[in-house]
Amino acid sequence: MNPISCLILEDTISDQLDIELILQHYPMIDATYVNTPKSFLTAIKENDYQLYFMDIHVSSDITGVDLLASVRNSGAWVILNSSYLTEEYYEEYKKIDCRKYCISKPLNPFSVRTILDELVTQTTKNNSLGDSTEFIMVKQGDYLHKINIDSILYFESSGHLVYIKTKEAKYATYGSLKHYESLIQGKTFEKINRNVIINLLFVQKINIKEDFIEIDNSCFSLSRIQKKEFIEKFDRLILK
């Protein structure tokens, strides 16, 4: 899945931090932060963004609603937020030619994540209509890493983190195992327990009696529920 470009206009550090904490759960969202109307207008001249977080009250002269009139991408998603939502902005808000949402501050993570989950799901579906995914983008720290799917040995979830192991490196990123599972459909991967998905091509050993699999000198338990399906898929792959 290609990264989802996001522009965030927020003039207070605390509110920027609230958004950043929410976005940690979405490594596929590549966020750019600006804090003035001028820097916002400069950013949209240089790039088209798929998602906007907009503070309505950013200046005494112009509002976030006014600034959105300059956005060229009618397919963009917009999350407007403010501590002082009033009807005076409603008529202008109606005219915004984007998929838009308006929520109050302080931001409710549940409300924001509901919107973002829908965006990610829709983007994934749109991507699946084109060519099959050969790469995934993984956010680790300040960097986005482009990883060839066929080079991945396994995915392992632990808490809010997902670890992605290749022969060259191991990446840790915020997200869900379910998200990455959706990106590798049709590939040579199989889920062997609730926390681990492995690439069958890199399996070194299978202990049928004690139900564990060795890959890259690491051992993972094989769920009894997943065992039959795993063995059948592994056999089909080997016999090709």
Cα angle 224, 229, 230; round to 5:
80
Residue 85 scores a pLDDT above 70: no
Look at residue 192 in the predicted model and tell me its pLDDT: 92
Place of tokens 């300040």: 142
- Supply the mean pLDDT for the chain: 86
Report the C-alpha gap between 232 and 204 in whole angstroms. 17
Look at residue 239 in the predicted model and tell me its pLDDT: 56
Give the tens place of pLDDT for each residue, 106-160. Answer: 899 999 999 999 898 888 766 654 444 588 888 888 888 999 999 999 999 998 8
Place of tokens 């681990």: 196
Q: Where are the domains of the chain?
A: 4-128, 135-239
SS3 state of residue 189: strand
Fold adopted by 4-128: Rossmann fold (3.40.50)
Residue 73 scores a pLDDT above 80: no
Higher pLDDT, 5 or 62: 5
Report the C-alpha gap between 194 and 107 in whole angstroms. 31
Q: What is the pTM of this model?
A: 0.52
| CATH code for residues 135-239 | 2.40.50.1020
Residue 197, both tokens: 């998905």
> Which residue type, as a one-letter code, is found at position 31?
A
